[in-house]
Structure 1
Amino acid sequence: MTDKLLHTPLYDKHISLEAKMVPFAGYEMPVQYPAGITEEHMVVREAVGLFDVSHMGEIFIEGPAALAHLNRLCSNQFDSMADGRCRYTVIMNESGGILDDLLVYRLAEDRYLLVVNAANRAKIYDHLLPLMEEGATLTDASDEWGQVALQGPLAEKVLAKVADSLPEKYYTFVDGVQVAGVPCIVSRTGYTGEDGFEIYGPADQIATVWDALLEAGKEDGILPCGLGARDTLRLEAALPLYGNEMNENIDPLTAGLSFAVKLDKDDFVGKEALLAVPEDHPVRVGLKITGRGIAREGAAIAHDGEEVGQVTSGTRLPYLKAAYAMGYVPPALAKEGTQLDVILRDKPVAAEVVALPFYKRK
């Protein structure tokens, strides 16, 4: 017996738009629409695309001790964070392994929203709950919320048609925005390497927001976009994905996320383990595949015929029109220009270490 897949509040919209649906993180989600992954990818790079991300989890930490709890449970520091700001962080286990990477939204001094990956929602809630002490409460409100992501250089133009206010700076948000008459949290964030917005609204009204954005973006060629384009876009922008570049056996320093780790703050879960990470830990690198082939997750990376690492994500990237990958190698082989091989079907295919991100918006 397989567990029944969950549906987001926008499931019927995807079916009516003839999306190809696949299982993902316990949900039945659109992997692509009739236009196809390449078209969806390119529309986000050049115009605007709309994603259903209602499968993501929304967990609230509230109370007078909420800030102290965040600082103790997460890798980043939140003391300097003002209302209306978002901050990227990771939650670790005691051995420094990443349980999830997430965004923290400060709604008030005593109220924070944690946006966690869909596959990790229950795990994070179950991890945090026993760590709650007096003065803070934890609430998993994921089922009450829907979320859509409007991404691309024309995202602001489109959203301005149906929203009464917009966050101006990256990693800021506005609460209580009316989007097509629906009260929403709107943040200037995304997972595509483009400008854009993530819009949180009541689950039973998010379809109104979805329809309004598709209508508002019509003249700009907006397309609904699925998981396929979401993955190629984030890989082109070299954004790590939980389960690929990150897991419970990889620490945030190795994963290249030291910007989200504040080792100089008071004790936090995983700090001791991070202080013991050796300096010669593996390094996450970008690879351009210069031979013929596409490196996929799990492919071995070799140097002088010896296996030295593994590909964590790889595909042909539509905007860059070439095959790229990310993976982990020893620091001595992490320099730009280093010649390596990826092993595809038992044969070495040439690859070169290149700078991350592969793509950066102008």
Structure 2
Amino acid sequence: MSALISPSRRLRRTPFSEGVEAAGAKAYTVYNRMLLPTVFRSVEEDYHHLKSAVQIWDVSVERQVELRGPDAGRLMQMLTPRDLRGMLPGQCYYVPIVDETGGMLNDPVAVKLAEDRWWISIADSDLLLWVKGVAWGLRLDVLVDEPDVSPLAVQGPKAEALMTRVFGDSVTDLRFFRFGWFEFEGRSHVVARSGYSKQGGFEIYVEGSDAGMPMWNALMEAGRDLDVHAGCPNLIERIEGGLLSYGNDMDKNNTPHECGLGRFCNTETAIGCVGRDALLRVSREGPVRQIRPIEIHGDAVPSCDRPWPIMDDGEQVGQVTSAAWSPDFDVNVGIGMVRMTHWKAGTDLDVVTPAGVQVATVREVFWN
């Protein structure tokens, strides 16, 4: 018998929970103290459907940290080594957030609503408390809070067709990582071309919990002939595409450069970033370990709920942090942190899985 999750006020429902439950969610994880669905039909069935049709995802767990006030832009730059000076309202940036040691605290998307107003759409960590602490400690003129905003993702190759039916043809004008304001039932919502899959789609930042189910129901109704289903971030698809999971593939003990996110860091010019000094050496010398795609040969691997050692001749040289069997590529796909001495593409290593030792190969690129 599977263990159950006990509901309480500490484990929040979402504005879309009613729809998720009616759609038959079979499993959840806890993310930012909220319920995130992880399976509807099966991981593999959900995977095939995501790649062929369109899904509606309740990703309310991507909570927003809002910065509002004259010092909002200054505070935002203090949080990340990515240079934000050229960012304009209407743009979204993927931004590593670091502490004073250069360690990753989160890898969110920053949404610039105006010069004095930002949303940080966070991964699973208490970033709100860190941001409030930085703002208070430096007496910045900025309000830091969590607004009543809950993202709803529309993902898959038919996502654009569905979105036009609800928001109009102008939604197709959005470029990748750009957003606009779109009306729904008399209320304006931010809609961005973005999402946690490689299949294409949009994220709707639904403002107001009361707007949740009307939005969910409208999308479901409009997508009937498109084979719309409730869905969720898919483990197999995200590993194939090299989409990292904060808390699984990296945490505060890793720098952005170790996570392969150096291209999102402008450490030399990101003046004011609290971790800048610590990252300058890393950016100049390079990391000694880094995330790599790992192809694991042999039988389908079990669930990777803890790091699996990567070994070479009896010595541990890294760890696999995410892994799954890929039906499309007919191989076990994985993400691992590997020492620089062993990260060259084509290097064969051993991975110690719960099912035993399996041979693995470091790849140059991810699968999708």
Q: Structure 1 length normalisation: TM-score?
A: 0.91
TM-fit CA distance, 1:126? 4.3
In structure 2, what is the equivalent of residue 236 of structure 1? 240
Q: Deviations over 1:21-71 (max 9, x none)?
A: 4341222332222x3222221222122111001122112212222222222
Query: Structure 1 residue 205: deviation in Å?
Result: 0.5
Q: Name the CA distance, whole Å, in 1 between partners of 2:321 and 2:276.
A: 25
Residue pair 1:71, 1:77 contacting (<8 A) in 2 also? yes
Map of 1:68 onto structure 2: 74
Per-residue CA distance 1:236-278 (angstroms, 9 max, x = gap)? 2111110012211111011110111111212411111112335
Q: What is the letter of the counterpart of residue 326 of structure 2?
A: L
Q: Look up the SS of the partner of 1:170 in the other structure.
A: coil
The offset of 1:18, in angstroms, is 2.1
2:62 partner letter? M
Q: Tell me the SS of whatever aligns to 1:44.
A: helix
Alpha carbons of structure 1 residues 96 and 298: separation in structure 2 relative to 1, 3 Å = same
Seen in structure 2, the aligned counterparts of structure 1 residues 131 and 281 have a Cα distance that, compared at 3 Å, is: farther
* Structure 2 CA distance for partners of 1:280 and 1:97, relative to 1, 3 Å: closer
For 1:115 and 1:203, the matched residues in 2 are separated by: 17
Which deviations, in whole Å up to 9, do the C-alpha atoms of 1:139-196 show, x marking residues without a partner? 221xx12221001111111100010331521000002x02465421100011111211
In structure 1, give the amino acid aligned to 2:311.
Answer: A
Partner of 2:188: 183
Change (3 A) 1:46 1:293: closer
Percent identity at matched positions?
Answer: 27
Match of 1:272 in 2: 277
Report the CA distance between 1:293 and its aligned residue. 4.3
Q: Distance in 2 between matches of 1:350 and 1:147?
A: 40
Q: What's the CA shift string for 1:108-162, capped at 9, x where partnerless?
A: 1221111112443544444444345333322221xx1222100111111110001
Is the 1:182–1:208 contact (alpha carbons within 8 Å) kept by the matching residues of 2?
no
CA separation of 1:132/1:112 partners in 2, compared to 1, >3 Å: closer, same or farther? farther
The 2-side partners of 1:280 and 1:76 are apart by: 18
Moved more, 349-358 or 179-188: 179-188
CA RMSD of aligned residues (A): 2.1
Q: In the TM superposition, what whole-angstrom CA distance separates every residue of 1:86-123 from its partner, at most 9, and x where no partner exists?
A: 01112111111111111111111221111112443544
Q: Which amino acid in the other structure matches residue 152 of structure 1? A: G
- After superposition, the Cα gap between the structure-2 partners of 1:211 and 1:321, relative to the gap in structure 1 and judged at 3 Å, is farther
Name the TM-score, length of structure 2 as normaliser. 0.89
One-letter code of the match for 1:269? V
Provide the C-alpha distance between the structure 2 equivalents of 1:129 and 1:68, rounded to a whole number of angstroms.
Answer: 10
> 315, 324, 331: which one pairs with 1:315?
324
Taking the aligned partners of 1:317 and 1:233, their CA distance within structure 2 comes to: 8
1:343 partnered with 2:352: yes
Return the alpha-carbon distance in structure 2 between the equivalents of residues 329 and 249 of structure 1.
14
Does residue 288 (structure 1) correspond to residue 295 (structure 2)? The answer is: yes
- SS of structure 1 residue aligned to 2:48: helix
Alignment match, 1:211: 217
Map 1:218-233 → 2, pairs under 5 A: 218-227=224-233, 229=234, 231-233=235-237
1:261-317 CA-partner distances (Å, limit 9, x unpaired): 111212411111112335351021111112334272411101123211111111113
What letter is aligned with 1:57?
A: R
Partners of 1:356 and 1:208 in 2: how far apart? 41
CA distance in 2, matches of 1:192, 1:60: 24
Amino acid at match of 1:237: G
Instruction: Give the Cα separation in 2 of the matches to 1:305 and 1:138.
Output: 49
Distance between the aligned counterparts of 1:17 and 1:280, measured in 2?
A: 45
Unpaired runs of at least 5, structure 2: 1-5
SS at structure 2 position matched to 1:149: strand
**Partner of residue 246, structure 1:** 250
What per-residue deviation string (whole Å, max 9, x for no partner) do you get for residues 203-229 of structure 1? 2102111111112221111111135x2
Instruction: Determine helix, strand or coil for the equivalent of 2:11.
Output: coil
Distance 1:88 1:261 in 2: 10
- Tell me which amino acid in the other structure corresponds to 1:276: R
Q: Secondary structure at the match of 1:232?
A: helix
1:305 aligned to 291, 295, 314, which one?
Answer: 314
Tell me the SS of whatever aligns to 1:204.
helix
Q: Aligned in 2, Cα 1:182/1:322: closer, same or farther, shift over 3 Å?
A: farther
Partners of 1:29 and 1:316 lie apart in 2 by 22
1:327 aligns with 2:336: yes
SS in 2 for 1:18: coil
Sort the Cα spacing of 1:119 and 1:134 in 2 relative to 1 into closer, same or farther, 3 A.
Answer: closer
Q: Does 1:95 align with 2:101?
A: yes
Give the 3-state SS of the residue equivalent to 2:279 in structure 1: helix
Instruction: Give the unaligned 5+ runs of structure 1.
Output: none
The verdict on how the C-alpha distance between 1:318 and 1:183 changes in structure 2, with shifts beyond 3 A counting, is farther
